[in-house]
Chains A and B, each alone.
Chain A
Amino acid sequence: MSNPLIDRRTFVKGAGLGAAAIVAGVPAFIPRLGEAADAIKIGVLEPYTGTYAYPGENETIGIQMAIDAWNKRGGVLGRPIEIIKEDEESKPDVAAQKARKLVNQDKCVALIGTVSSGSSLSVQKASADMGVLFFASGGHTDDVTGKNCTWNTFRTCHSTWMEAHATAYTLAKKFGKRFYFITPDYAFGHALQTAFDDVIKQIGGTTVGYDLTPLGTTDFSSYLTKVPAAKPDVVVVLVQGDDYTNCMKQADSFGLLKKFPFGGPQVELEPLYGLPAAARTGYWGIEWSYSSDLALGKGNKAAHQFVADYFAHYLNSQKKPPTARECFGYVSIDRMLAGMAAAKSTDSVKVARAIEGEKFQSIFADGGYYRREDHQLMWPMWVAEIRPNGTPQDPNDLLDVIAKHDPDTIEQSVAEKAKICKMAYPS
């Protein structure tokens, strides 16, 4: 014991100092504990692992930006807002289980999140059972605001119907009416396909090829080798995430991108950044853009401030620009909190009533509203041509926004929706 790391005297001194610090700290500490207990807790369910981890991270950043802005203004109903995050892994069963945990155990008053449509639907069901608000920020399948619609769920990103209609007319006009589809075999893909079938019927087009690919397909060669024989005017790619990356990369290696125009209802910056420049091509539906006035709204201060704040303080782990996912997260939680403020309550029914039909301006062009009949956010959608190498000033700026479609022209009408979505509030 000639050279102990901490001798007895040092220990006693240290312990004394520590005790003193604790005692001194208590008076200041107690009220803060009280405040924290009063915080409004909101549960965030996003995929932080797996194929949608990157969009999951980006949605969370958008959510955090809105929370910080509200807290800086003093919170809602005089209470600070706190988020509790859970990884839903893009698995519907995990998502539903974590939703229950966030509400029952962590006492969250509302839920927000999901990227995969399967998870959106399962959280929608779980949250309706528990009677809490749910903002489906990023799952696109029609059913969320269609046949599965519920009073407690609001969906921010566009429905598959909107995506398909916004882009199909553009593609048909540009390239012709013979379509070849590469469709993911799950809720999201099926819904997109249904919407495309509707457009094809309207314009008198034909489907010359149609492949249902299992989610998580790594090798698309078997699908792609069938394309030339079908002689399509345009190849429509509906797969997303890593499947999109694999599909486009392999389409390039088969030389198809030079032979056929490619396009589709939805492309996101996240998977585009994962593609070599040679495989970045085509015309795609997009849901926001950080660089285009057509998407942000000319002179829309809030949107430009949002982009500036992002670059200044919230850069994601890849040091890349904000995507539509930041927009979904931001808009969703911002409207949820605005609803609480307007209802002067966190009661789910009162807040839902305060949100529906309420027009608002936000970080995108023209403004929008969550439709009373189905709780779908009615906002514009855009079509972009891909710039493989960005612009000389900004190599990350891959989307050249060429068209804006108004929501009423691309979404099913209220009358049509009324046949599908029967919304019943608890009495």
Chain B
Amino acid sequence: MEHVAPELFNGLVLGAFYAIVAIGLSLIMNLTGTINMAHGSFMTLAGYFAFALIARGTNFWFALLVAPLLAVLVAIIVERTMIRPLYGRDPVYSLLLTFGLSLIAEEVFHIVWGANTLPFAPPAALGGTVALGFMNFPTYRLFIVAVLLLVFGLLALFLYRTRFGLRLRAAVQDSEMIAALGTNTQVLYTINFGLGILLAGIAGVLAVGLLGLNPTTGNTLLMPAFVTVIIGGMGSLYGCLVGGVLIGLATSLMTLYVPAASEVVMYILMAIVLTIRPRGLFGEEGLFG
């Protein structure tokens, strides 16, 4: 049993990570029906931007703020020029488009930054460990949890306490009516897409402090995020949070007892949830409960 406490903690960190990526996916999916297969590429892109910024002498904190915003800039261009024409069509169109984009992105990363893993270390202040009593836990992982909780709080405030958030939620329920009432839904879509990518970008920069930075870094995290959305339920912010933590815990605990099954456990979890409750744990008709 001495191993279980650290595993639970590891699982929570991992889960928070999956959740924030899943929320970004979910935002984009709910409003426009776009299944963004390029989400992982935007994470990687933000990682490379952060790497490039730090290589040019800026510090980690500046890169953590600015790199996701640069990724959002790219995302807005992509949304306006390529994804927008596909709104209103079958989701397969945007799925294929974004899948293609992710392949192209991987090759571009390959050409610009090379196939090898680049060294990326979090700043020295986050380098050590913190004694938690039952174990020494890496400071950087605690920092990740703190940032993700902050981001989650700000996002909830934004969606539930601002006029824009209200419009966004209304648009999910009936975008035609919102448009008829005088809201520019095109702008709404763009901002929403940017918001989803902002979350991906923050997760991306945080991830490369933990993993190596190479053209496939983001894509390795994409599949758990999709599973998170499905388990948590389409359209539910809290569902993503619960789903992410569930997967994180299940993976970590499985690693302790049956490492070979640690990869597959999330799919088993998904199958169980889909069988018992096909719309996911918190999935409902509208967005965000």
Residues in A231-275 with C-beta less than 8 Å from chain B:
242, 245-246, 249-250, 253-255, 270-271, 273-275
Q: Mark A319-332, 1 if CB is under 8 A from B, else 0.
A: 00000000000000
Q: How far is the CA of A202 from the CA of B150 in the complex (A)?
A: 55
B115, A242: Cβ atoms closer than 8 Å: no
Q: How far is the CA of A222 from the CA of B141 in the complex (A)?
A: 13
Shortest distance between the CB of B224 and any CB in chain A (Å): 9
A254, B14: Cβ atoms closer than 8 Å: no
B259, A229: Cβ atoms closer than 8 Å: no
A245, B220: Cβ atoms closer than 8 Å: no
A219, B14: Cβ atoms closer than 8 Å: yes
Residues in B154-196 with C-beta less than 8 Å from chain A:
none
Does any Cβ of A come within 8 Å of B118's Cβ? Answer: yes
Does any Cβ of A come within 8 Å of B56's Cβ? Answer: no
Does any Cβ of B come within 8 Å of A291's Cβ? Answer: no
Given contacts A222-B10, A249-B210, contact A317 B114 (CB under 8 A): yes
Q: How far is the CA of A254 from the CA of B13 in the complex (A)?
A: 14
- A-B Cβ contacts below 8 A, count: 115
Q: Mark A199-239, 1 if CB is under 8 A from B, else 0.
A: 00000000000011110111101110110010000000000
Q: Which stretch in B72-80, B128-136, B236-244, B275-283 binds the other chain?
A: B128-136
Q: Which stretch in B1-9, B84-92, B225-233 binds the other chain?
A: B1-9
Given contacts A214-B263, A222-B252, A254-B138, contact A274 B7 (CB under 8 A): no
Chain A residues with CB under 8 A of B255: 222-223
B211, A246: Cβ atoms closer than 8 Å: yes
Does any Cβ of B come within 8 Å of A2's Cβ? Answer: no
Most interface-central of B110, B114, B116, B262 (chain A CB within 10 A)? B116
A212, B260: Cβ atoms closer than 8 Å: yes
Chain B residues with CB under 8 A of A278: 121, 127
Residues in A174-220 with C-beta less than 8 Å from chain B:
185, 211-214, 216-219
Interface contacts beyond A221-B10, A275-B119: sample of 10 additional A-B pairs, CB < 8 Å, sorted by A? A51-B214, A185-B259, A211-B259, A219-B210, A219-B251, A225-B6, A245-B211, A273-B117, A275-B212, A278-B127
Count chain A residues whose beta carbon lies closer than 8 angstroms to a beta carbon of B: 42
B121, A50: Cβ atoms closer than 8 Å: no
Does any Cβ of A come within 8 Å of B216's Cβ? Answer: yes
Does any Cβ of B come within 8 Å of A54's Cβ? Answer: yes
Closest to B130 in A: A255
Q: How far is the CA of A275 from the CA of B208 in the complex (A)?
A: 11
**Can you give 12 A-B contacts (C-beta < 8 A)?**
A49-B110, A51-B214, A211-B259, A212-B259, A214-B259, A221-B10, A225-B3, A242-B214, A245-B212, A253-B139, A253-B140, A255-B138
Does any Cβ of A come within 8 Å of B16's Cβ? Answer: no
Chain A residues with CB under 8 A of B3: 225-226, 229
Does any Cβ of B come within 8 Å of A283's Cβ? Answer: no
Shortest distance between the CB of B43 and any CB in chain A (Å): 12
Q: How far is the CA of A276 from the CA of B260 in the complex (A)?
A: 29
Q: How far is the CA of A56 from the CA of B110 in the complex (A)?
A: 13
Q: How many interface residues does chain B have, given as a range? A: 35 or more
B110, A274: Cβ atoms closer than 8 Å: no
A185, B110: Cβ atoms closer than 8 Å: no
Q: Mark B11-30, 1 if CB is under 8 A from A, else 0.
A: 00110000000000000000
A253, B141: Cβ atoms closer than 8 Å: yes
Shortest distance between the CB of A88 and any CB in chain B (Å): 14
B114, A54: Cβ atoms closer than 8 Å: yes
Q: How far is the CA of A255 from the CA of B130 in the complex (A)?
A: 10
Shortest distance between the CB of B84 and any CB in chain A (Å): 30
B216, A50: Cβ atoms closer than 8 Å: yes
Shortest distance between the CB of A317 and any CB in chain B (Å): 5
- Residue of B116, B119, B213, B259 near A270 (CB, 8 A) is B116
Closest to B5 in A: A225
- Residue of A57, A219, A225, A249 near B115 (CB, 8 A) is A57
Does any Cβ of A come within 8 Å of B256's Cβ? Answer: yes
Chain A residues with CB under 8 A of B118: 274
Does any Cβ of B come within 8 Å of A105's Cβ? Answer: no
Does any Cβ of B come within 8 Å of A306's Cβ? Answer: no
Closest to B106 in A: A49
Chain B residues with CB under 8 A of A218: 211, 220-221
Closest CB pairs A-B (n = 3): A274-B117, A53-B115, A276-B121
Does any Cβ of B come within 8 Å of A427's Cβ? Answer: no
Most interface-central of B10, B212, B262 (chain A CB within 10 A)? B212
A53, B110: Cβ atoms closer than 8 Å: yes
B136, A254: Cβ atoms closer than 8 Å: yes
Does any Cβ of A come within 8 Å of B120's Cβ? Answer: yes
- Residue of A221, A277, A318 near B116 (CB, 8 A) is A318
Q: How far is the CA of A54 from the CA of B115 in the complex (A)?
A: 6
Given contacts A53-B110, A223-B255, contact A254 B129 (CB under 8 A): yes
